[in-house]
Amino acid sequence: MTYKPADSQLMLNRELGLLEFNRRVLAQAEDSRNPLLERLKFLCIVSSNLDEFFEVRVAVLKESIQHNPKALLPEGLTVQATMELIAREAHELVERQYRVLGDAMFPALAAEGIHFFRRSLWTEPQREWVRDYFFRELMPLLTPIGLDPSHPFPRVLNKSLNFIVELEGCDAFGRNSGIAIVQAPRVLPRFLKMPKEVTGVEHGFVFLSSILHAHVEELFSGMKSRGCFQFRVTRDSDVSVDDEEVKDLRAALEGELSQRPFGAAVRLEIAENCPQHLQSFLLKQFALTEADLYRVNGPVNLVRLMQAPDQIDRPDLKFQPFPPGIPGELRKYPDPFAAIRHSDVLLHHPYQSFTPVVDLLKQAARDPQVVAIKMTVYRTGTESVLMEALLEAARHGKEVTVVVELLARFDEEVNINWAAKLEHAGAHVVYGVYGFKTHAKMLLIVRREENGLRRYAHVGTGNYHPRTARLYTDFGLMTVDDDITDDVNDVFMQLTGLGQAGNHKALLQSPFTMLSSLLACLDREIAHARAGRKAVVIAKMNALLEETVIEKLYEASQAGVTIHLIVRGVCALRPGLAGISDNIRVRSIIGRFLEHHRVFYFYNDGEEDVYLSSADWMERNLHRRIEIAFPVKNHKLKRRVLREGLRSYLVDNVQAWEMLSDGRYRRKTSRGGKERCAQAMLLAELTGKGRKEG
C-alpha cells in the first residue's frame, strides 16, 4: 500500500514542531548539568527563537486567516485551527519559561552572588543610586506621551520596551486623559550593573524597567501614578518587494527595510499585574485578540538578558573555553595552497578552527599568482575579516566577484552595506537570481601556476561567519578536485550570467538536480532492500518538511530500508508508525553548539555515498533556493564524516531526544550505563586539547 503525505495522519504540523523544538531548548536551561550562566543563555535563546517564530511564522498564518481561515495545511488542519493550537502551546511554553526564570534561575544566580535586585527589596543606598541614575541618564532621554486628541497613540517599534502609565489628576492645561505611554530609549541597556559598595555583592544588577517604575511620577509633574506596566509588541517582520515593479532589488529593499519595525502586530507581551482594562486598551490599539496576549512575570524582553554572562567574570559558571584544532594537512603545509594540492582538507567546526578559511582568503588577496576570487555571501556579520580580505583583493586589481544574498532574513541591511563597500572597491557584486535565494556556501580561487590556471574551492554547510563558526557545527571542504571546482564555477556562471543549467559532474544543485538525485538515491536503497541486500540511509539536517521526500522515506521504510534521521529542529515525518515508518528513527541533538551541518549518507550496496550540503530537506531549500550538496570522495575524509557527523550522534544518550510518532520527544538516557555525548566526544578528539586529526 502506498501512503501519501497528504494523508493527514502522516504529516506533523510545522509550527507546532517549532514550539516542540523550543521545549527542548528550554530543557537545557532546566538541566543542572549545564553551567549556570549557560543555562541563562538557553533561556534567552528560547525568547529569541519565539520572537522570530511570531515575526515570521505566526505573521504568515495571520495573513492567511484574513484570506481563507478554512484553508487546509498539509497535515489536515485548517489555518484557524492551527492558530488556536499555536496559541495554547505557546502560552504554556512561555509560562514554563518564566517559571524557570523566577523559581529556579534567579535563586540559583543569587546563591552564586549574582543578584537582580527587585524594587521592593532595595536598600537605601541602592535607592539613592537608582535615583541618581534616573535623573542623570534616563530622564533626559524620555518623551512621555499623554494620550488625548492631539496626542494619539504613538507608533511603537517592533520588540521595543514600552510602558503604559495610568494617571490621576490634571496637568497644567487641565487635561486628564488618564493614560500615557513612555517608550524606553533604545540606546540604554535593559539592565545595569550597580557598584559593589552599593549592593554589597560582586555582581548586582537592576533592570531599567525597575528604575523607570520607581520614578515614573517625575515625568508627570503634580500627577499621581495609579500604575506603570511594561509591554512589548512583536510585529510582522517579513520583507517583500513587488515582483512586477522591482527594477533594482537593492534600492527596492532599502525602501522596504525602513518600514519593517512597523509591520502588523502579531503578539503583545505585558506585565502580568497589568489591569484588564489597560490590557484591553492595548489589544485594541494593536488590533490583537486575547489569544495574542502574553502576560509575563518578569522582564518582557528576556532576549536582552543574553548580555548578562558577558558582564559576569565567573568562568566556573560558563562552558570551558577550548582552542580549536587544526587538521594535520594544514600543520604539515603552512601554505594553504600547497596543503590543498596535496590532499583535500576537511574542517569540522567549531571543534576545528575556521581560521584556515580566513587565511586562505587573506593569502589569495595578497598572492600575485591569484587572478580571480568568487564567493557567495549569505550571513557574514557587521565586522568580517573575510569581507575585508575581498576588499583588499579588489583593491589589488584581482577579479573579485561576490554574490550577495540581499534577502537573507534579518541580515539584509548588513549585506547591503557590504555590497556597497565591495562595489566601491571595484568588485563585481551581483544579487544572485531574483526569486531564488542564494544559500549555497562557495568560495572559488583561480591561481596561475606552472601548468596553467588552477582552481581552488572551499565549499561548506555553514555561513562565512567566523563568530558563528565558534558556535555552530559545520563541515567545510577545501579541494582542487576538477569535478567539484568545475561545477562550482558553473554555479557561479549561472548566478552572474544567463544560460541553461548544465549537467554537473559532482555537485547536486537546487532547484535543478538535488531533489531528483536524493529521490534516486532513496530509490536505489529501496531496490537493494527489495533484493534482500543491506540498505541504510542516515541523514542529518536542521529540518525535514518536504512532502515528496517524506513520501519516499515512508516507501523506503516499507521496503525494509533502515533509516536514521538526525533532525535538530522541526520534522513533519512521523517515525515508528506500524506498517508505515517502522524502520525510521528520528532524533534531535540539543547541546552547547547549534547543530547545523547537513550530512546525507546512502549505503549503496557498500559504496557508501556521502554528501555534505547547505540545504535542509524543506520545500524552500529544494525548490526555491540555490543550494549545493557536494560529495566527500576521499576515503579517509569520508570515514571522518561518518564517524564525526553521523555515528557519534546515533550513540548519544546525553543530549539526544528521540522523536515519538505523535511529534513529542523523549530525552535519551544512559540508564546507568556509560554516558556518550557527541559534542563532548568531538571536543575531546578534535580540539587543540585533544588528539589532532592527521
Quote the cell numbers at residue 102. 523566577
Indicate whether 322 belongs to any domain: no
Last residue of a domain, one of 258, 293, 317: 317
pLDDT score of 503 = 85
Whether residues 519 and 494 fall in one domain? no
Confidence of residue 692 (pLDDT cuts 50, 70, 90): very low
Last residue of a domain, one of 462, 485, 502: 502
Whether residues 245 and 365 fall in one domain? no
Whether residues 70 and 210 fall in one domain? yes
Catalytically active residues, by annotation = 439
Whether residues 103 and 248 fall in one domain? yes
Whether residues 117 and 266 fall in one domain? yes
Percent of residues, the chain, with pLDDT higher than 90? 80
pLDDT score of 3 = 44
pLDDT score of 534 = 98
Indicate whether 304 belongs to any domain: yes
Q: Nearest-CA neighbor of 312 among 237, 418, 205?
A: 205
Whether residues 473 and 531 fall in one domain? no
Whether residues 117 and 24 fall in one domain? yes
Whether residues 450 and 542 fall in one domain? no
- The string of pLDDT tens digits covering residues 515-553 is 999 999 999 999 999 999 999 999 999 999 999 999 999
Confidence of residue 694 (pLDDT cuts 50, 70, 90): very low
Indicate whether 305 belongs to any domain: yes
Whether residues 342 and 288 fall in one domain? no
Indicate whether 2 belongs to any domain: no
Residues β-bridged to residue 165: 180, 228
Q: How far apart are CA 576 and CA 563, in angstroms?
A: 11
Q: How far apart are CA 218 and CA 201, in angstroms?
A: 29
Last residue of a domain, one of 438, 472, 502: 502
* 688 has a pLDDT exceeding 80: no
- Average pLDDT of the residues in 284-302: 96
* Number of domains comprising the chain: 3
Whether residues 495 and 516 fall in one domain? no
> In Å, what is the CA distance from 540 to each residue of 152, 610, 644?
52, 11, 12
Indicate whether 493 belongs to any domain: yes
Which residues are within 8 A (CB) of 31 and not within 5 positions of it... i.e. 6 or more apart? 39
Quote the cell numbers at residue 603. 549505503
pLDDT score of 329 = 87
Whether residues 628 and 672 fall in one domain? yes
Indicate whether 691 belongs to any domain: no
* 334 has a pLDDT exceeding 50: yes
- The string of pLDDT tens digits covering residues 566-613 is 999 999 999 999 999 999 999 999 999 999 999 999 999 999 999 999
- Reduced 3-state DSSP string for 640-684: HHHHHHHHHHHCCCCCEEEECCCCCEEECCCCCCCCCCHHHHHHH
Give residue 466's domain range: 328-502
Which residues are within 8 A (CB) of 684 and not within 5 positions of it... i.e. 6 or more apart? 690
CATH number assigned to the domain comprising residue 366: 3.30.870.10
- Average model confidence (pLDDT) across the chain: 92
Percent of residues, the chain, with pLDDT higher than 70? 93
pLDDT score of 381 = 84
pLDDT score of 7 = 54
Would you give the DSSP letter of residue 384?
-
* 4 has a pLDDT exceeding 90: no
Which residues are within 8 A (CB) of 332 and not within 5 positions of it... i.e. 6 or more apart? 339, 342
CATH number assigned to the domain comprising residue 39: 3.30.1840.10
What is the model's pTM?
0.93
pLDDT score of 497 = 85
* 255 has a pLDDT exceeding 80: no
Confidence of residue 433 (pLDDT cuts 50, 70, 90): confident
Whether residues 105 and 28 fall in one domain? yes
Indicate whether 334 belongs to any domain: yes
Peptide bond into 350 cis (omega under 30): yes
Least confident of 38-47, 142-151, 152-161: 142-151
* 242 has a pLDDT exceeding 90: no
Helices (H) and strands (E) in the chain, counts: 22, 27
Inter-residue contact 622 to 613 (CB < 8 Å): no
> In Å, what is the CA distance from 83 to each residue of 13, 16, 578?
11, 10, 30
Which residues are within 8 A (CB) of 410 and not within 5 positions of it... i.e. 6 or more apart? 52, 237
Which residues are within 8 A (CB) of 398 and not within 5 positions of it... i.e. 6 or more apart? 364, 365, 370, 371, 372, 373
Indicate whether 384 belongs to any domain: yes
